[in-house]
Amino acid sequence: MPLILIVDDDPDMAELLGHMTDILGYEHQYVPTGAEALEACRTNPPDAIVLDVMLEETDGWAVFRQLMPITNAPIIFITAWRTGENRLKAEAMRADGFLAKPISHQDFAAQLKAVLGKPARRLSKPA
């Protein structure tokens, strides 16, 4: 069963995303910080990562850059910022998906199924 790592500092959103992954038949692990996401990827590598752009201690963009050298799991950005700029930034960074909140179950399911069906990307070399 695929493991989805949910990185969001909002416990209510994390609970909602966890519930959606459960309905889809996936396991999930929740962490509220980028540091915990890095540790989770090292100790229990996920099959996909759902990463909030706005985290308290750092932003999701920075966490994404830190994750790239240590995981080949596809990463879907989520954000409350409904701007085209954020979608373009996610695409430029080569994220595997992007969802704006509020997130519908159908959109979430489609993104997860799409990224789980993709071949794994190669790990980037640390800078």
Q: How many CB atoms lie within 10 A of CB 79?
A: 21
More confident residue, 46 or 86: 46
Whether 57 shows a pLDDT value over 90: the answer reads: no
The domain 3-116 is classified under which CATH number: 2.60.40.1120, 3.50.50.60, 3.30.530.20, 3.40.50.2300?
3.40.50.2300
Q: So what's the pLDDT on residue 4?
A: 98
pLDDT classification of 72: cutoffs 50, 70, 90: very high
Q: How many CB atoms lie within 10 A of CB 62?
A: 12
Listed in sequence order, the residues at least 6 apart from 36 whose beta carbon sits closer than 8 Å to its beta carbon are: 7
Q: What is the pTM of this model?
A: 0.90
